[in-house]
Amino acid sequence: MMKKNFSNNLINILVIALCIISACASVYVPKLLLNNRMNQNIDKVNVVPTEYYSGPSVAVVKSASRQLSAYQRLQLITNSWESNVSPASTDECTISDYEAYILSSESILALYNAGLYPEKLSSEYQNWYTWKATPYKALDTTFGIYAAVYWEITYTRYDNTESHKVIIDENGELLCAIATGKEDYTTYLPAIKNTAKQIPSSAISDDVINNYHITLPSEVDDIEIITYSETKENSNNSYNHYIIQGDEYYGIFTTP
């Protein structure tokens, strides 16, 4: 009888001991493992997966970009201030595609009236143009919070004989316009030709054209380039304008 009681007591003691050990293990083992893992990761820097990083919000970029001058926006758009260009969403734009179309039409009309562009692009009888406006943003590569939004508007004559690509910023400032399709653009002489400086084609950098993502026809013979500069009112910054005229195209570009 005493042996049986002793066995029962021993079993009870072992059960109680196991319970105590299990309880202690459940409290201290996770803590020890966690501390060990933390000690292993001390002084280590891991790259955050790209899916967890979205960059500055649209609101932050918009707020920072309001501080930019017109000249700084032009530097971003032309990559004079290093930037990455990508399509812009409607949330990033301050004007609509129709407003961009109207602003570009007004800018081209002003150039046409000044004798600086071969067409006025207004839709009239036997001179109807369809249009498409696409927004882009140039985001600086240094801080990633300064952006310049601009619009590319393409005009196509109803019979597909002419096309025009016009680029404006959101203030309606004309940055680039190029016409293609006519048989010969050399018959069109800009009004400014008599006073502007004419330069050889070799003197102009391809960046002037490439930074606007323009592809010119392959023809490069007998190309004529006219350049003139201006300093806008209330600004110390000089803007350069290039008129490029060849047999197959006519273009005007603005650069910092």
Q: What is the pLDDT of residues 193-220, one digit of tens each?
A: 666 666 655 556 566 666 676 666 555 5
Tell me how far apart the alpha carbons of residues 220 and 150 are, in angstroms, rounded to a whole number. Answer: 28
In sequence order, the 6+-apart residues with CB closer than 8 A to the CB of 151 are 95, 97, 100, 104, 133, 134, 135, 136, 167, 168, 169, 170
pTM assigned to the model: 0.71
Distance in angstroms (rounded) separating the CA atoms of residues 136 and 147: 10
What residues have CB less than 8 Å from 91, skipping those under 6 apart?
58
Nearest residue to 103 via CA among 128, 126, 133: 133
* Domain range summary for the chain, segments of one domain joined by +: 73-255
Q: What is the pLDDT of residues 230-242, one digit of tens each?
A: 777 767 788 888 8
* C-beta separation of 115 from 190 below 8 A: yes
Strands (E), the chain: 83-87, 129-140, 147-157, 163-169, 174-180, 197-199, 224-231, 238-245, 249-255
* 187 phi/psi in degrees, rounded to 5: -80, -10
Average pLDDT estimate for 109-116? 86
Distances (CA, A) of 24 to 35, 41, 70, 81: 17, 26, 69, 63
